[in-house]
Amino acid sequence: MSQIICDMQTLGEVIDAFGYAELAAILGKPPGTVSSWKSRNQLPSEFWKTVLEAAARRGMTDITADLLIRLDANRACSTNNKALGKSTLHSAVRASR
């Protein structure tokens, strides 16, 4: 089966490409675990090799190690920026009191 996947922007979209139930079966994890990863835009790196192998078997040529690295880095930056913004806002509110 060949599948065209263009312009993935999040790790959640990688999970969607498989479907969380199918990916859960591939990874030997409960579907709820993979669903939770999707909602947090997370795909633990210890599963990347298996994901890449499964993607290759399915003809999902857009799912590459470079893609996973880029999306994980984007997720980490976004998470850090949100945390920084929250703490900066919190500090500004405290300072204004």
Name the residue with higher pLDDT: 70 or 81: 70
Name the residue with higher pLDDT: 94 or 69: 69
Query: Is residue 65 in a domain?
Result: yes
C-beta separation of 18 from 29 below 8 A = no
Query: Is residue 50 in a domain?
Result: yes
Query: Is residue 93 in a domain?
Result: no
CA dihedral defined by 78, 74, 48, 64, rounded to 10 degrees? Answer: 160
For residue range 4-50, list pLDDT tens digits in order: 445 789 999 999 999 989 999 999 999 999 999 999 999 999 999 99
Query: Is residue 64 in a domain?
Result: yes
Query: Is residue 95 in a domain?
Result: no
Domain residues for 38?
A: 11-72
pTM tops 0.85, yes or no: no
Query: Is residue 94 in a domain?
Result: no
Domain count, the chain: 1
Query: Is residue 78 in a domain?
Result: no
Query: Is residue 38 in a domain?
Result: yes
